[in-house]
């Protein structure tokens, strides 16, 4: 299955990257080989909004697959630990991280994505049904999908919550929508499509991606249509929409090049264009747009040996390479709540890895 990545940035000048054992289904469940406790790189708060600290991650964390930051100081990251699905959270800009309590049958499960609609309310998805927190990640309870499809759903890969009550989740079995904060979920019919691995919503407009397919809706997910894409686009992994008109999607491969690609729209998906990407990227797993012009995308280099990050300040038309700290293998998630400030999650050698940026260019 294609990898899904989540990135969270609060400004184009501030982002954090967390890398750990694979949190996406493409590479299978994260490795359960225990290693040293992951640790966020040390940093002195620079006085800017969302200055990030270097707090140690909880012990037993193996991999992180998704992250969502509803504010410059508040983030929730999800993934996999030696005991199953794991969610960790910070309310002090990464100075310290705590592990939430995941109820239900989380043993052996993996969380792939998370979306926070407020500082206290988030939805996490992965193997099995969605999980919900109402206290900032301290405790999680399982929500139930419709009984006629629950047993057929092997994974929900991504989720987006444009409001406190409305969320859209996508995965192997299609698209699911809630309008009551996650208490009930309804499956929505779609055109024929491969497993969906990414989704982004702004109010009633959403984009969902998977393989060489991009679906869109303007009614909150009730009905979906397939967008026409530039020739050669395949392996779409993630999408981020800063407005109902402006979206960016990233892929594992573009045409016959075998390298990552970027497409963008400024008219709500009526037409898509190909962005010019700096070389050396084999996979882009995640993207997060803090504004209609400022986005960050991340994944791995062509060799697959280290994490890689790029950024744009023109809405996706052109991209420049950033530089991650050493040790990363692949970035699976990003979240940019404001321009220049981002947090990312993914994989390192044997344990978790976190980096951050407060200028959108330099990562620590």
Please tell me the predicted confidence (pLDDT) of residue 328: 79
Distance from C-alpha of 331 to C-alpha of 286, rounded to nearest angstrom: 8
Please tell me the predicted confidence (pLDDT) of residue 17: 38
Burial of 191 (0-12, 13-18, 19+ CB in 10 A): exposed
Average pLDDT of the chain to the nearest whole number:
79
The pLDDT tens digits of the residues spanning 53-63 come to 556 778 777 87
With beta carbons less than 8 A apart as the criterion, state whether 11 and 293 touch: no
129-138, 264-273, 283-292, 303-312: lowest mean pLDDT where? 303-312
Fold of 6-358: Methylamine Dehydrogenase; Chain H (2.130.10)
Burial of 247 (0-12, 13-18, 19+ CB in 10 A): buried
Please tell me the predicted confidence (pLDDT) of residue 326: 74
- Tell whether the model's pLDDT for residue 10 goes beyond 60: no
The pLDDT tens digits of the residues spanning 106-118 come to 777 899 999 999 9
Distance from C-alpha of 348 to C-alpha of 110, rounded to nearest angstrom: 17
The pLDDT tens digits of the residues spanning 122-144 come to 999 998 779 999 999 999 998 87
Distance from C-alpha of 352 to C-alpha of 297, rounded to nearest angstrom: 19
Task: Please state the domain extents for the chain.
Answer: 6-358
Q: Tell me the CA distances in angstroms from 254 to 211, 262, 333, 364, one per residue in order.
A: 11, 8, 20, 30
Please tell me the predicted confidence (pLDDT) of residue 308: 86
Instruction: Indicate the pTM of the whole model.
Output: 0.85
| Contacts of the segment 313-318: beta carbons below 8 A, 24+ positions apart | 313/12, 315/246, 315/248, 315/264, 315/266, 316/248, 316/262, 316/263, 316/264, 316/273, 316/275, 317/264, 317/273, 317/275, 317/276, 318/275, 318/276
3-class SS letters over the chain: CCCCCEEEEEEEEEEEEEECCCCCHHHCCCCCCCCCCCECCCCCCCCCCCCCCCCECCCCEEEEEEEECCCCCCEEEEEEECCEEEEEEECCCCCCCEECEECCCCCCCCEEEEEECCCCCEEEEECCCCEEECCCCCEEEECCCCHHHHCCCCCEEEEECCCCCCEEEEECCEEEEECCCCCCCEEECCCCCCCCCEEEEECCEEEEEEECEEEEECCCCCCCEECCCCCCEEEEEEEEECCCCCEEEEEEEECCCCCCEEEEECCCCCCCEECECCCCEEEEEEEEECCCCCEEEEEEECCCCCEEEEEECCCCCECEECECCCCEEEEEEEEEEEEEEEEEEEEECCCCEEEEEECCCEEC
In this predicted model, which residue has the larger pLDDT, 68 or 28? Answer: 68
In this predicted model, which residue has the larger pLDDT, 80 or 159? Answer: 159
Highest mean pLDDT among 151-160, 209-218, 323-332, 347-356: 209-218
């Amino acid at each position: 299955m294609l990898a899904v990545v989540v990135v969270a940035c609060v400004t184009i000048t501030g982002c954090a990257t967390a890398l750990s054992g694979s949190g996406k289904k493409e590479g299978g469940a994260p490795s359960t080989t225990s290693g040293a406790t992951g640790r966020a790189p040390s940093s002195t708060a620079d006085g800017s909004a969302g200055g990030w600290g270097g707090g140690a991650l909880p012990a037993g964390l193996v991999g992180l697959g998704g992250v969502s930051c509803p504010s410059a100081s508040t983030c929730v990251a999800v993934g996999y630990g030696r005991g199953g699905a794991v969610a960790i959270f910070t309310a002090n800009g990464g100075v310290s991280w705590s592990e939430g309590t995941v109820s239900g049958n989380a043993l052996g499960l993996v969380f792939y994505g998370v979306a926070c609609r407020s500082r206290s309310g988030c939805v996490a998805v992965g193997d099995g049904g969605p999980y919900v927190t109402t206290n900032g990640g301290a405790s999680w309870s399982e929500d139930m999908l419709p009984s006629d499809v629950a047993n057929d759903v092997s994974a929900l890969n991504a989720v987006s919550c444009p409001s406190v009550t409305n969320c859209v989740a996508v995965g192997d079995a299609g698209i699911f929508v809630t309008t009551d904060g996650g208490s009930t979920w309804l499956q929505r019919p779609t055109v024929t499509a491969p497993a969906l691995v990414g989704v982004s919503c702004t109010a009633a407009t959403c984009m969902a991606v998977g393989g060489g397919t991009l679906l869109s809706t303007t009614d909150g997910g009730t009905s979906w249509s397939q967008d026409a894409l530039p020739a050669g686009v395949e392996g779409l992994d993630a999408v981020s929409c800063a407005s109902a008109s402006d979206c960016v999607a990233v892929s594992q491969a573009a045409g016959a090049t075998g390298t990552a690609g970027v497409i963008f729209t400024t008219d709500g998906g009526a037409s898509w264009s190909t962005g010019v990407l700096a070389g050396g990227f084999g996979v882009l797993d995640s993207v997060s747009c803090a504004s209609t012009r400022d986005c960050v995308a991340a994944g791995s280099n062509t060799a697959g040996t280290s994490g890689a990050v790029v950024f744009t300040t023109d809405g996706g038309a052109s991209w420049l390479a950033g530089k991650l700290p050493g040790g990363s293998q692949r970035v699976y998630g990003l979240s940019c709540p404001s321009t220049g400030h981002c947090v990312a999650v993914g994989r390192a050698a044997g344990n978790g890895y976190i980096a951050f940026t407060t200028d959108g260019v330099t990562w620590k």
